[in-house]
Amino acid sequence: MALPPDPNAPQDFDFITGDWRVNHRRLSALFSNCTQWTAFEGASSTTKTLGGFGNLEDNVLHFPTGTVRALAVRSYCAAAGTWSIWWLDGRSPTTLGVPVVGRFAGHVGTFYADDVLGSAPIRVRFVWTAIPGENPRWEQAFSNDGGKTWETNWTMAFMPVGGQAQDPSVRGRGVAAP
């Protein structure tokens, strides 16, 4: 039984609800002026939770070294007008990642966090692009200089399962600025 959505729920992430094939590209080495990328396939399925104030994205990533399952957990804070996004990786099933926090402006959502890579502090940036009539895109970038410069190190291009474009009215309405 599906529970009814809250009529006041944000629609920012409505564009990603459903089942997707995913083309991943990941930078082969970080902070080393690397220009080599590793490409691999995956799949994701996103469902709304919390009456529409959250969603869960179940992922299968077919890395060249083996298949990994992961989960993105998103929740909306109405008081702040921001989304928080956590990552739970099947390779470390007892560790929930530091959340990136941010919001959409137009058709682009930008989210930031302070984290640690190895033993060095970094800034993390996620950018979601959801232009009506186009397939969604996501990218991750790291900064090791406090956000002065950014190195994009992972991109994801989403294609609806079955190859059919998703209804533009659904994709377009989910990205209004809070």
5 vs 70 pLDDT, higher one: 70
Residue 162, pLDDT score: 79
Residue 173, pLDDT score: 32
Q: Is the pLDDT confidence value at 171 over 90?
A: no
Angle (CA) 92-40-36 rounded to 5° is: 100
pLDDT tens column, 64-110: 999 999 999 999 999 999 999 999 999 999 999 999 999 999 999 99
Rounded CA separation 164/170 (Å): 14
Rounded CA separation 8/29 (Å): 43
Nearest to 18 by CA among 76, 70, 52, 58: 58
Q: With bands split at pLDDT 50, 70 and 90, how would you rate the model's confidence at 10?
A: very high
**172 DSSP assignment:** H
Q: Is the pLDDT confidence value at 176 over 60?
A: no
pLDDT tens column, 99-150: 999 999 999 999 999 999 999 999 999 999 999 999 999 999 999 999 999 9
Residue 167, pLDDT score: 41
Q: Are 104 and 81 in contact (CB under 8 A)?
A: no
In sequence order, the 6+-apart residues with CB closer than 8 A to the CB of 130 are 15, 16, 107, 108, 109, 136, 171, 174, 175
Q: Looking at domain 14-173, which of 3.90.550.40, 2.40.128.20, 3.40.50.620, 3.30.70.2610 is its CATH number? A: 2.40.128.20
Each domain of the chain, given as residue ranges in start order, spans 14-173
In sequence order, the 6+-apart residues with CB closer than 8 A to the CB of 5 are 48, 51, 52
Residue 16, pLDDT score: 97
Rounded CA separation 81/104 (Å): 9
